[in-house]
Structure 1
């Protein structure tokens, strides 16, 4: 029971943190601070640690900084075209995906991101690649990031535009739109097609 409470508390803490990061009015800020406090009280119930100690542990200044994790869903259609979404942030195209959330496995994050950004229900098929963003020619970024590419298969649904997505489409390997290179590179798309053409190809880790 304590571990279940702690897991829920961590998820609430993550939601509160995101809410406080992006809140644009005092009403939302107050609600997310209240949610943050509730999460600390739940952690206190689960661990017995005092709330002030827990609050310090989850403060911005952490003792040990770890990489962020970017999850990308790799989806092909029956014509061997790859699914891309057009990002509202820069008007360019990427694989569906985003930051992994606390409380979700990599495959759960891929399924969630695909549904939110496209409207399609998908099932994960296999891990294709785990890439250190530093090792690839992405634009400079403050965060240190690991990128996880998971092949998925559409099971149901239809396109439903998300708030942060302008469009969606399937594209041939030699006819890609302008890519959002902070999120994905042409060479990485080529790598995904290698897995399509060679199902026995081993997952790449670098």
Structure 2
């Protein structure tokens, strides 16, 4: 791991400890120290990202309570041995998906995100994998991310251009676009989706 990557991991650990201390601590002097640790962790993230300190604090130090990973879903929708990808506004391609809403189950969230990003109504068939994105992507987040990938079947629907995606298209595995959005779905995760689609006995993967 590169030095700056280590710095990010240290910053995330310090932020997590500081957030827990601010949540459960009672002594005013300790709370002041926890806040200082949180500020230092934000400064470390600023050094890595070159973002303004206030923006880093808004993204990195904006929660209360015990810190847990961010949870998202991805829908692996297949038709005729091809997988559906949507093109993001930045031009990259990904499985339809996004962060989980607080009032939805992961399955409900998968259905909602698929509809919003691809226009498709889907049936969720089974879980493919539960992945820690730190193990599958080189993207650097100020928090840990866990994605749940679902095998899905299209039921119908039309694509409508929206604020997140510009088009949708089905791809064979050997014709996947080069500009995959690897922070949303890595090539090995997409490969697992194809394996699950072809094998009814596929065992759910979990990092």
Instruction: Name the count of aligned residue pairs.
Output: 146
Please show how residues 1-206 of structure 1 align to structure 2 within 5 Å.
Answer: 60-77=62-79, 79-88=80-89, 90-177=90-177, 178-206=179-207
- 2 CA distance for matches of 1:143 and 1:104? 21
RMSD: 1.4
Does the 8 Å CA contact 1:98/1:113 hold for their aligned counterparts? yes
Aligned to 1:39: none
- 1 CA distance for matches of 2:155 and 2:72? 23
Unaligned stretches of 5+ in structure 2?
Answer: 1-60
- 2 CA distance for matches of 1:197 and 1:95? 18
- CA distances 1:52-82 after superposition (whole Å, capped 9, x unpaired): xxxxxxx9341311100110011001x2100
Does the 8 Å CA contact 1:138/1:185 hold for their aligned counterparts? no
Does the 8 Å CA contact 1:67/1:146 hold for their aligned counterparts? yes
TM-score (norm 2): 0.68
Unaligned stretches of 5+ in structure 1?
Answer: 1-58
Deviation of 1:161 after TM superposition, in Å, equals: 2.0
Q: Secondary structure at the match of 1:187?
A: helix
- 1 CA distance for matches of 2:200 and 2:159? 27
Change (3 A) 1:158 1:132: same
TM-score (norm 1): 0.68
- CA distances 1:165-206 after superposition (whole Å, capped 9, x unpaired): 011100010111120111111111111111112111111111
- 1 CA distance for matches of 2:62 and 2:123? 35
Deviation of 1:159 after TM superposition, in Å, equals: 1.9
